[in-house]
Amino acid sequence: MADSTQSASPQPPSSDNASDKATAGSSVSSDDNISFKTARSVIQEDAAETASEPGLVAQVEQLRVDTPIPEISHWSSDSSSEEGNAPVPMARTRRPVPRVTAPEPEPEREFPIAVTSFIGNPRPRPDHQTQLSCVVFSAPWLESFLPENCRTTNQKSLKCKAILRFNEECLVQLAQFFCAGCTDPTPAEGFVHRPIMFTRTGMDGLEDGPRRTLMMRFGQLTRSRWNFPEMNATLGGKAEGQIFEVAIPTCGRDECNLTARTMANELINSLLPCIPRLRLATLDLGIFIPTTRVGEHEEDAGWEPSGAEVLVCKLAPDCLSLPVQQVIPDDEDEGEAAASGATETAEDDAEADDEESEGADEDAEADAEADIES
């Protein structure tokens, strides 16, 4: 029993076995740490073991291999890279966005557009013959109001309507008209507009032809004398665009409005057959202007000029002329008054200087006469 016990008892490990176990333990621990030996480290260990043997040193030197260090990108997710030694990526600066400014639109140009209106009652009456008034206004309008910029008849009607509505307010400041449909004199509160044509004249007037002859026939109904500037402005020689129309004053009642429109149509239809070679396609008889009271505009009246210029004013006996007063804004009254005062003072000073110079001349003449006598 004793022998069996001694044989069964464990023997202490020898040195060789201990070294093998240590080596095995170290290799296991290295596997646990997920590390590996490079070829260079293996060669170095082999060289250390064989350093005692001089014959193997030369072979180790020949077999030594320099392995390059792998480049590790700082964007890589490799766990073997050391975070402390990894270079910090530089912050990327944002480029400033350039500012883009759109060019300001150029203001729309303005062109003079005139309106030639033949106004009055065209029906002959027992006491006197037909006599119409002729008034020509000119005002600066935007380029979009010129007739060639109107592509459709509807657009042309809208532009013509805006110009005639503005022209109405100028007419009532020039004269007092009376309703053509009432038997008793009744002040007119509106006009029935019957446009004949809305055309581009280009500061040259209507061309020689049937349309010019038609307008001259209307001018003969004013029963007055004409000079060249008046006739030139009436035919469109003072504006880029011109509206030629017949306007019948009315009190605003529906019966009078219907009567006034019938009068305008009868007048135009009576003159059209008298003009040879006149084509209706060259006229704008299809433009219709609704009848409203003067000053009654729609909510969105649109752009209008600041004022108008009277080029021709020939009033018939059936209307009363009104004095046209120039309206001066309040902020300009003091400036104009001071200017007028300064002008008067300058004139007085000039008169005083003239008197003094005349007196000095008389004295000089007297002295000269005295010297001659002496």
pLDDT reading at 342 higher than 80: no
What pLDDT band is residue 360 in, cutting at 50, 70 and 90?
low
Residue 132 within any structural domain of the chain: yes
Residue 302 within any structural domain of the chain: yes
Give the tens place of pLDDT for each residue, 76-111. Answer: 555 444 555 566 666 667 778 888 888 888 888 999
Residue 73 has what pLDDT?
53
Burial class (CB in 10 A: 0-12, 13-18, 19+), 306: exposed
Residue 9 within any structural domain of the chain: no
More confident site: 277 or 85 = 277
Residue 341 has what pLDDT?
47
Residues spanned by the domain of 252: 112-321
β-bridge partners, 116: 136, 244
pLDDT reading at 4 higher than 60: no
pLDDT reading at 235 higher than 90: yes
**What distance in Å separates the CA atoms of residue 73 and residue 46, rounded to the nearest whole number?**
33
Residue 20 within any structural domain of the chain: no
Q: What percent of the chain has pLDDT above 70?
A: 60
Looking at the structure of the chain, the number of domains it has is: 1
Residue 101 within any structural domain of the chain: no
Residue 261 has what pLDDT?
95
What pLDDT band is residue 370 in, cutting at 50, 70 and 90?
very low
Residue 263 within any structural domain of the chain: yes
Residue 308 within any structural domain of the chain: yes
Residue 38 has what pLDDT?
56
What pLDDT band is residue 178 in, cutting at 50, 70 and 90?
very high
Give the tens place of pLDDT for each residue, 108-141. Answer: 899 999 999 999 999 887 777 889 999 999 999 9
What pLDDT band is residue 322 in, cutting at 50, 70 and 90?
confident
Residue 9 has what pLDDT?
44
User: What's the 3-state SS for the chain?
Assistant: CHHHHHHHCCCCCCHHHHHHHHHHHHHHHHHHCCCCCCHHHHHHHHHHHCCCCHHHHHHHHHHCCCCCCCCCCCCCCCCCCCCCCCCCCCCCCCCCCCCCCCCCCCCCCEEEEEEEEEECCCCCCCCCCCCCEEEEEEEEEEHHHCHHHCCCHHHHHHHHHHHHHHHHHHHHHHEECECCCCCCCCECCEEEEEEEEEEECCCCCCCCCHHHHHHHHHHHCCCCCCCHHHHHHHCCCCCCEEEEEEEEEECCCHHHHHHHHHHHHHHHHHHHHHCCCCCHHHCCCCCCCCCCECCCCCCCCCCCCCCCEEEEEECCCCCEECCCCCCCCHHHHHHHHHHHHHHHHHHHHHHHHHHHHHHHHHHHHHHHHHHHHC
Residue 97 within any structural domain of the chain: no
What is the pLDDT of the chain when averaged over all its residues? 76
pTM over 0.75: no
What pLDDT band is residue 303 in, cutting at 50, 70 and 90?
confident
More confident site: 222 or 101 = 222
Lowest mean pLDDT among 15-24, 65-74, 82-91, 206-215: 15-24
Residue 299 has what pLDDT?
55
Residue 19 has what pLDDT?
45
